[in-house]
Every structure is written in C-alpha cells, then in structure tokens.
Amino acid sequence: MKLSKAQYDEIAQFLGHVQPTRQSLRKLKKRFPRYLSGVVKNAGAPVLLELANEVDFAPSLMARIVLERFLQEQEGTIPSKTLINSMLRDPSQIPDGVLANQVYQCTVNDCCYGPLVDCIKHAIGHEHEVLLREMLLEKNLSFLAEEQLRAKGYDKTPDFILEVPVAVEGHIIHWIESKASFGDECSHQAYLHDQFWSYWNRFGPGLVIYWYGFIEELDCHRERGILLKDCFPTDIVTLRHSVAQH
C-alpha cells in the first residue's frame, strides 16, 4: 500500500501521536518521587505504567528511565547500557521485586517500543526476508544472501545481492533490501543514509521493498538508482527474457 504524503500526514495527525519531547521528560523526572509513594501504598498497582500514560510517554522508555534512576541511586554510579538492556529484557534480574514487576508491566503493555516489541519487529523482518528469498528462488534469480556476503568480508550488506542484475520497471537493480515496515519520511531518510546509499556506493542501483507500504513521494531516487516498491515486483526483465506478467 502506497500512501501519498498528504494521506500519511492526515493519519498521523488523527492518531495524535506526538513525539515525546524534552519538556515531557522534565515533567517526568519531577514526578519520579510519586512512584515511590504510589508503590508504598499498593505494590501491585500499575503505578509506573500510569505515570507513563500520564506524561504521554512510551511505557518501556519510562521503565528505562526509572530503572536507570533506581540503579543509580542504589549503586551510586551510572549503570551501563548493557546492564539496563539486559534487565529490561529480563526483569527478573532487577534486584527490587516490586520494580521488576512494574517494569515488566510497562514493557509488556508497550506496543511501540521495548524489548518485546523490538523482538517482534525483528521477527517480522526476518519472516519477510524469508518470503522474499522464496520469491527470488521461484523467479530463478540467483543471489547472494547477507550471511554469504558477510562471510566474504563485505562491510555493508543488503539482504540480497543479485548475481546477475535485472531490470525492474526499466531500472537496473543489483540488490534488494526488504523492509517489513511502513516507509515514512523519518525512517526512510535514516535508512537512506545508513543503508541504501551505502549499498548504492558499493553495488550500484537497487530495490527496496517496504512490505507495509511507504509514502509515494519518497520514491524519488529511481533515476539515481534506489527504487521503492511495496510488494515483490512483477515487471522484471532478466538478461535473456522477460518475465512480465502481462
């Protein structure tokens, strides 16, 4: 599904999703003491989660902040990122049982961020890669997958490099990257900078498939060599013959 930018903006506005700002963060830190008093009254009450909802903050991020503060006060030093991440992933490691429950409640209830959601995202990404691989095999397009490329020592690796380039909708492509997400402006820019251009720099033009759609206007680098699609392309011309559907 492709969305025009206007359509996307409308939806985004409708959802009223406002990015957490520094202001709300400050508000949040002020309210931290409330957590303690709340928990003292009732250890089982979803204090932390409610706190997060109150300041319009992702619960898992809230949990992270509180956990950081907690460890900092307990240990006297700023805790390492790995430790925090590990505790968020497995709250059983958190020394304080009540906090552990609170944190877990936050991560489980968060639909956008946190280790659980990250993992789901990762799983979806992987599943689509597998699907794409299937399609490539079905079309008899031989490719090198990421693992093979990494083994060869490539420094940047798209999901698939075609051993023999093909033309999709008249554009030659050398590689295909699968993205199991919606390509909005923000994430696409980041991907361009960190991944797509890097692939172009090494392997030439390529194709990005945003399985969950993208903003149409972002597909503006076709001439330069980055093609966007929201599904596996049908108009593929190989070196020898056309597999076009129509």
Residues that bind another protein (CB under 8 A): 43-46, 49-50, 89-92, 94, 97, 100-101, 104-105, 108-109, 116, 119-124, 126-127, 130, 152-156, 197-198, 200-205, 224-225
Distance, in Å, from the CA atom of 102 to the CA atom of 27, rounded to the nearest integer, reads 20
Angle subtended by helix axes 81-89 and 97-109, to nearest 10 = 80
Distance of CA 118 to CAs 39, 87, 88, 150, Å? 28, 15, 12, 23
User: At closest approach, how far in Å is the CB of 124 from another protein?
Assistant: 4
The answer to whether 196 touches 206, Cβ cutoff 8 Å, is yes
Distance, in Å, from the CA atom of 104 to the CA atom of 63, rounded to the nearest integer, reads 8
Q: Which residues contact 194 (CB under 8 A, 6 or more apart)?
A: none
Nearer to another protein by Cβ, of 154 and 243: the residue is 154
User: At closest approach, how far in Å is the CB of 106 from another protein?
Assistant: 9
User: At closest approach, how far in Å is the CB of 30 from another protein?
Assistant: 23
Nearer to another protein by Cβ, of 75 and 134: the residue is 134
Nearer to another protein by Cβ, of 17 and 126: the residue is 126
Nearer to another protein by Cβ, of 140 and 201: the residue is 201
The structure tokens 């509180």 sit at 66
User: At closest approach, how far in Å is the CB of 31 from another protein?
Assistant: 18
Nearer to another protein by Cβ, of 8 and 70: the residue is 70
User: At closest approach, how far in Å is the CB of 230 from another protein?
Assistant: 19
User: At closest approach, how far in Å is the CB of 214 from another protein?
Assistant: 20
Q: Which residues contact 12 (CB under 8 A, 6 or more apart)?
A: none
Nearer to another protein by Cβ, of 127 and 217: the residue is 127
User: At closest approach, how far in Å is the CB of 7 from another protein?
Assistant: 26
- 201 burial (CB, 10 Å; 0-12 / 13-18 / 19+) is exposed
Nearer to another protein by Cβ, of 131 and 243: the residue is 131
Distance, in Å, from the CA atom of 172 to the CA atom of 227, rounded to the nearest integer, reads 9
SS3 80: coil
The answer to whether 114 touches 88, Cβ cutoff 8 Å, is yes
